[in-house]
A = this chain, B = another copy of it.
Amino acid sequence: MKIFNDLADFTTDEIRELLELANRLDAHPEPQALRGKVLALLFLSPSLRTLASFQAAMTRLGGGSFVISPGMSIHGIETRPGIVMDGAAAEHIREAVPVIASYGDAIGIRAFAERKNLEADMAEHDFSALTSLIDTPYINMESAMNHPCQNLADWKTLDDLDIPANGGKFVLSWAYHPKALPLAVPASSLYMAAKRGMDVTVLRPEGFELPEPLMQKARQAAEASGGSVVETDDRAEAMQDAHVIYAKSWSSTLHYGDKLADQKLRTGLEHWCIDEPWFANARDDCRFMHCLPVRRGVVVSEPVLDGPRSVVIHEARNRMLAQMAVLYQMLGSET
């Protein structure tokens, strides 16, 4: 494996193999597997789980890592192409990325969407501009539309909890948040659940529809896997017999990149805070999933988040295990 960028690049069998590997490495540690191997970690956007879990993953496999984020240095890092660098920035990303990559056997890169233009973000213009600079194996640690490490961890969580692949009902629900957030998690989680074979319902208010190409990609995956994908703004219909609700706030796609219009649209949607009444007609053991960080009392009520439905810590720990499997396949065979 040279690139881990999108679950769509892997067959379901390959994903299942990664998850078996994750389980095996959890049960039977291999602290020599990646000895002497280096993972470069480049964060152009903030992180807590990803930052910690990748470092932990490399240590558990006997290797190591280093972290670079622009805030660590007074060298500002310029990202604009073709610019005359006579301002504050002393270094351009065109040197920084290949150099950082050259110190690693692989590199993880995080760069959130610019969120000015939906087509550019859907095409992953910014992330591709970075990865086009390197030949090093790389891992997408969250880009405009992808978060494959989160997706792999979530798939594992669904497996761990014995939530059925075929026949399991997965509700991907928009939730209220004061800010316009990226699409990467909802977009890629939608695809993950569909590829796993689940019956996926996207629950969202008007103006927050996911982009049609993403819905289309998910429907195709569902067709192949025996799952299904539907979309609604009717909460009761969505939650009916649900096995799991995967909550996440995201930007209005109707007003993508327009902060004021997005703010206006979300005003009055504060009741999209997942609380216990949401589960009235779900399965008794319906689970609550969220990728974290999550705002208590805003995105989800405290009783739900702290109660038995919530598996958010389990999901977060699975980030580390999923990433260990990816790193093992990417770096382990070189020795």
Interface flag for A64 (CB, 8 Å): yes
Q: Report which of B55, B66, B94, B178 forms a contact with A51, defined as CB distance below 8 A.
A: B66
Of the listed stretches A9-17, A95-103, A235-243, A274-282, name the one at the interface; the rest are far from the partner chain.
Answer: A95-103
Query: In the complex, what residue of chain B is closest to A36 when comparing beta carbons?
Result: B31
Given known A103-B320, A293-B75, contact A36–B56 (CB-CB < 8 A)? no
- Contact partners of A72 in chain B: CB under 8 A: 51
Given known A40-B56, A316-B102, contact A84–B297 (CB-CB < 8 A)? yes
Name the distance in Å between A157's Cβ and chain B's nearest Cβ. 13
User: Are B297 and A91 neighbours in the complex by a CB distance under 8 Å?
Assistant: no
Given known A90-B295, A296-B83, A298-B84, contact A73–B46 (CB-CB < 8 A)? yes
- Contact partners of A56 in chain B: CB under 8 A: 38, 40, 64, 66, 103-104
- Contact partners of A35 in chain B: CB under 8 A: 31-32, 62
- Contact partners of A47 in chain B: CB under 8 A: 73
User: Are B178 and A103 neighbours in the complex by a CB distance under 8 Å?
Assistant: no
A273-321 with Cβ < 8 A to chain B: 292-298, 302, 306, 312-313, 316-317, 320
| Complex CA–CA separation, A320 to B295 (angstroms) | 38
Interface flag for A92 (CB, 8 Å): yes
Interface flag for A161 (CB, 8 Å): no
User: Are A317 and B103 neighbours in the complex by a CB distance under 8 Å?
Assistant: yes
Interface string of A46-72 (1 = CB under 8 A from B): 111101110110111111111010001
- Contact partners of A64 in chain B: CB under 8 A: 55-56, 58-59, 64
User: Are A295 and B85 neighbours in the complex by a CB distance under 8 Å?
Assistant: yes
Name the distance in Å between A93's Cβ and chain B's nearest Cβ. 11
- Contact partners of A167 in chain B: CB under 8 A: none
Query: In the complex, what residue of chain B is closest to A87 when comparing beta carbons?
Result: B178
User: Are B178 and A86 neighbours in the complex by a CB distance under 8 Å?
Assistant: yes
- Contact partners of A74 in chain B: CB under 8 A: 46
Query: In the complex, what residue of chain B is closest to A103 when comparing beta carbons?
Result: B56
User: Are B55 and A99 neighbours in the complex by a CB distance under 8 Å?
Assistant: no
Name the distance in Å between A295's Cβ and chain B's nearest Cβ. 4
- Contact partners of A40 in chain B: CB under 8 A: 52, 56
| Complex CA–CA separation, A83 to B295 (angstroms) | 10
Interface flag for A29 (CB, 8 Å): yes
Q: Report which of B99, B294, B296, B313 forms a contact with A102, defined as CB distance below 8 A.
A: B313
Q: 23 pairs across A/B with beta carbons < 8 Å?
A: A30-B36, A31-B36, A38-B59, A38-B60, A46-B74, A46-B75, A48-B91, A51-B66, A51-B72, A55-B64, A56-B66, A58-B64, A59-B66, A75-B293, A83-B296, A84-B298, A85-B295, A86-B297, A91-B294, A92-B294, A94-B296, A94-B306, A95-B313
Chain A interfacial positions (CB closer than 8 Å to B):
29-32, 35-38, 40, 46-49, 51-53, 55-56, 58-66, 68, 72-75, 78, 82-86, 89-92, 94-96, 98-100, 102-104, 178, 292-298, 302, 306, 312-313, 316-317, 320
